[in-house]
Amino acid sequence: MANFGNVIIEYLSAFRLPRVGISDVVEVLILAFILYRAMVWVKNTRAWSIVKGLAIVLVFMAIAVLFNMNTIIWLAKSLFTLIALAIIVALQPEIRRLIEELGQTNFISALIKMENKKEEGRFSDKTLNEIIVASYEMGRAKTGALIVIEQDSPLGEYERTGIAVDGVVTSQLLINIFEHNTPLHDGAVIVRGDRVAAATCYLPLSDQRTLSKDLGTRHRAAVGISENSDSMTVVVSEETGKVSVAYGGELFRALDVTELREKLEIVQNKHIAEKNSLISKIKAKKENKEEGGQNGEEKKLSRKEEKAKRKEEKASRKEKNKEDKENKEDKENKE
């Protein structure tokens, strides 16, 4: 019996929790902070796309291991170092910027500060119309413009190259920004949601050899940013005044108002809003029909009441006429 008790004690002793000291708690907090900041950094840079691509590669690797695909496993092991170096080279600007931010950040304030960003939805119809109006107004005046509309891919790294504006998108604001001889006219404007986030932003130039030779730096920058993100860029040519759109690495040139509206509606992504508006319109029509039906019934009732009143008035007049005749006859008989 004593031996059995000793065995149980030894068995339970293996599951004892280690002693947790203050240094252990501090170490966990530091690691949690580093992991959190790394996740935020990955989410707000191009590293997020690379992480998603690596996740897909890891899924295929897991399938290869599961089915004993030895050749694929050998290739992955051989190319592991090369892939790691390629990722570091691809993220070199982001890594450099991260190190710079660490050197400029107050550590205590960074610990207290929490990420409090609101995910802004797509832009409204008013913003869409303001962009269209501004584009063709600048086209008529042959004022060059570069308007980048952000979608899911964050454009913070390009936004930091410009000057923060944070103003509501209006045609007057956009025209004033790109007016000649103004401080903000050079570079691109980044639109996030219904606001102009920044102006005078520098964009990467496209290396496509298929682009026309008559295109200038403005159009190549528009195609370049569309290759590096899912944004849509509206370009106004300073030479011809024509409005073009760069999206998905392609340039759609010389668009009219209808075509530009169709392109902007692609990135507006307002299917939910359209459903809600359709539902509200249907409800309004039903309510109008019901009100119209009620009004019709009320009108019918009022007409019936008027007819009844008229009949009563006629009957009362007839009775009065009879009484007058009888009174006259009685007077004549008495005389």
Could you read off the pLDDT of 222-258 as tens digits, one per residue?
999 988 888 999 999 999 999 999 998 889 999 999 9
Q: 263-280: per-residue pLDDT in tens?
A: 998 888 765 445 455 445
Distance CA 331, CA 335 (A): 6
Winning range, highest mean pLDDT, from 12-21, 66-75, 129-138, 201-210: 129-138
pLDDT at 197: 93
Cβ–Cβ < 8 Å for 217, 228: no
Of 27-41, 211-225, 241-255, 281-295, the poorest mean pLDDT is in 281-295
Cβ–Cβ < 8 Å for 236, 138: yes
- For residue 119, name the pLDDT band (cuts at 50, 70, 90): very low
Does domain 125-269 bear CATH number 3.20.20.140? no
Of 5-19, 73-87, 102-116, the poorest mean pLDDT is in 102-116
User: What is the average per-residue pLDDT within 280-290?
Assistant: 53
Q: Is it the case that residue 128 has pLDDT exceeding 60?
A: yes
Helix (H, G, I), strand (E, B) or coil at 103: helix
Half-sphere exposure of 7 (CA within 13 A, CB side): 4
Q: Higher pLDDT residue, 224 or 310?
A: 224
Per-chain mean pLDDT for the chain: 79
Q: Higher pLDDT residue, 118 or 63?
A: 63
What the block records as the tokens of 121 is 């939805």
DSSP characters for 213-268? TT--HHHHHHHHHHHHSS-EEEEE-TTT--EEEEETTEEE-S--HHHHHHHHHHHH
Q: Sheet harboring 195-201: ordered strands across?
A: 163-168, 195-201, 188-192, 145-149, 232-236, 243-247, 250-252
Kindly state the DSSP code that residue 141 receives in the 8-state scheme: T
Q: Higher pLDDT residue, 251 or 328?
A: 251
Pairing outcome for strands 163-168 and 243-247: unpaired
Strands of the chain (E only): list them: 145-149, 163-168, 188-192, 195-201, 232-236, 243-247, 250-252
